Amino acid sequence: MTGLTILACIISFRLTKYSLGQGADPAQTVFWFIIAIGILTFIIGFALVRFILKPVEQFVEKAIKLASISGNAADKKKEWSVDKIEQFTSVFDRVTSVLSRMDARHFFPQIIGESLAMRGLLSLIKKVAPTDSTVLILGESGTGKELVATSVYENCQRNNKPFIKLNCAAIPTELLESELFGHEKGAFTGATKFKPGKFDMANEGTLFLDEIGDMPLNLQSKILRAIQEKEFYRVGGSNTIKVDVRFIASTNQNLEKMVQERKFREDLYYRLNVFTLHLPPLRERKEDLSLLVDYFLQTLPKKVEISSVALQMIMAYPWPGNIRELKNVIESAAVITENGYIEPAQLPGQITAAFNTDSKEVSLPVNLPLDERINEIEKSMIIEALRKTGGVQVRATELLGINQRSLWHRIKKHKIDVKSIRSNEI
């Protein structure tokens, strides 16, 4: 419309100049031109609304009726804003979020997580997997680095070739070189026959070196040569063995610090650090806790449910052992429970102690639906975090392990009065 207005001004000026040049009164010519422009503007506006915005509005109206888009019951009952652009933006954001979750479930069904941090990670996996780039996976112990490595392999072009895994921390130092490169008969005492190594097995496929930060320095140069030159020597052998392998490595250690301390070769670090995937610890993706708990409960041999208070305790705990610790806790509690219902009494002492110290229990009706229980638990956790930080939202996000935008949306969703919390009114 702005372009049409500018064009109209230019044409009006030209018509006026032409009419004056012809000795005629330009008023009548310009008047009819303005009438024509007005009609044209109306037609364009009508067409825009009828053929473009109307279908969009119909799509939005249908979308907000879907349970996965509409949000909670309060969102369904409230009147939409008069600002259509704001309404459309809100719905499109929700649609994008739902599609992102569906995309993650489709391509990575074995990875449980719908938080923003995990969706960002899965997006990176989709981008790097089809390439032959070396991938370095960084994350704390128990975050699922092997699962991510498997996902990279399953979505790569070599997924019909071998996928060989080796935990560098699980093999004794004196045997690690033989495990990696194999050995010839008679290479050392006890080497009674030829043995292929992991590099041989992974040829044309993918080799995953787990906990590579624990690899001895004397082997790091040989690994570097294998990655860089695509060749190696077997233990006790003199012939160069060519190999075509895609490398994935992982560690829970700070390799940069190890390089500075000369515990890890700098050249190997840069050779491995082509594309890095950072796995968020569980405390930074607490949105996924209820999904993970539900998943672990479904994998149990018997049907077991969890009480709302026990779930609240689980969501409040920082989980230093990450997903592995959570899995062990759920399995242990399921073994102890006698009525098929996990209560706080079945949870480890460190979880209940942390909850009693840091949180206040929320009394919820026994028959409350799961979604409403989770909403109430989430609301209570946000209020408690805001109480502890005096209503300072930036500090509250650190306690909750979520970003500031996510906290703002949750405060709005639960209608939490932050000003009252600052004034100690809640």
Checking if the pLDDT of 81 tops 50, the result is no
DSSP sequence for 156-171: STTTTS-EEEEETTTS
Q: Are residues 239 and 298 in the same domain?
A: no
Cβ within 8 Å of residue 61, ≥6 positions away: none
177/298 same-domain check: no
426 DSSP 8-state letter: -
Same domain? For 252 and 179 the reply is: yes
Rounded to the nearest angstrom, the gap between the alpha carbon of residue 402 and the centroid of all alpha carbons in its chain is 12
132: helix, strand or coil:
coil
- Determine the pLDDT at residue 424: 56
Phi, psi angle pair for 344, to nearest 5°: -55, -30
pLDDT of residue 79: 44
323 burial via Cβ count (<10 Å: 0-12, 13-18, 19+): buried
The whole-number pLDDT of residue 204 equals 95
Do 131 and 270 fall within a single domain?
Answer: yes
Q: With respect to residue 272, please indicate whether it lies within any of the assigned structural domains.
A: yes
Cβ 362 vs Cβ 330: under 8 Å: no
Looking at residue 155, its pLDDT comes to: 92
If asked whether residues 300 and 275 sit together in one domain, one would say no
| pLDDT of 425 higher than 50 | no
CB contact at 8 A, 151 and 108:
yes
Mean pLDDT of 64-81: 47
- Tell me if 209 is assigned to some domain: yes
Q: Compute how many other C-beta atoms are within 10 angstroms of the C-beta atom of residue 152.
A: 26
Structural domains of the chain, count: 4
Asked whether the predicted pLDDT for residue 77 surpasses 50, the reply is no
Regarding whether 298 and 253 lie in a shared domain, the answer is: no
Three-state DSSP state, 299: coil
Kindly report the pTM of this predicted structure: 0.66
Give the pLDDT mean for 250-267. Answer: 95
Give a yes or no: residue 154 inside a domain: yes
Percent of the chain whose predicted confidence (pLDDT) is above 70:
72
pLDDT tens-digit readout, 116-127: 888 889 989 999
pLDDT tens string 155-187: 999 999 999 999 999 998 888 999 999 988 888
Which range of residues forms the domain containing residue 322? 283-422
Q: Output the average pLDDT for the chain.
A: 80
Both 265 and 321 in one domain: the answer is: no
pLDDT band, residue 56 (cuts 50/70/90): low
Contact present, 273 and 298 (Cβ < 8 Å): no
The predicted structure's pLDDT at residue 384:
78
At 5 the pLDDT is 64
Which DSSP string corresponds to 32-65?
A: HHHHHHHHHHHHHHHHHIIIIIHHHHHHHHHHTT
The CATH number of residue 241's host domain is 3.40.50.300
Q: What is the CATH number of the domain that holds 373?
A: 1.10.8.60
List alpha helices for 275-415, DSSP H: 289-298, 308-316, 322-336, 349-358, 370-388, 393-400, 404-414
Q: How confident is the model at residue 80 (pLDDT cuts 50, 70, 90)?
A: very low
Most confident of 81-85, 325-329, 358-362: 325-329
Q: Same domain for 194 and 47?
A: no
Higher pLDDT, 295 or 404: 295
Residues 129 and 242 in one domain: yes
pLDDT of residue 417: 80
Residue 35 CB coordination number (10 Å): 10
Same domain, 207 and 261: yes
pLDDT over threshold 60, residue 368 = no
pLDDT at 106: 60
Mean pLDDT score, 303-320: 87
Residues 111, 148 contacting (CB under 8 angstroms): yes
Higher pLDDT, 193 or 387: 193
Same domain, yes or no, for 14 and 91? no
Q: Which of 164, 128, 126, 119 is nearest to 146 (CA)?
A: 164
pLDDT tens digits along 104-157: 566 677 888 888 888 889 989 999 999 999 999 999 999 999 999 999 999 999
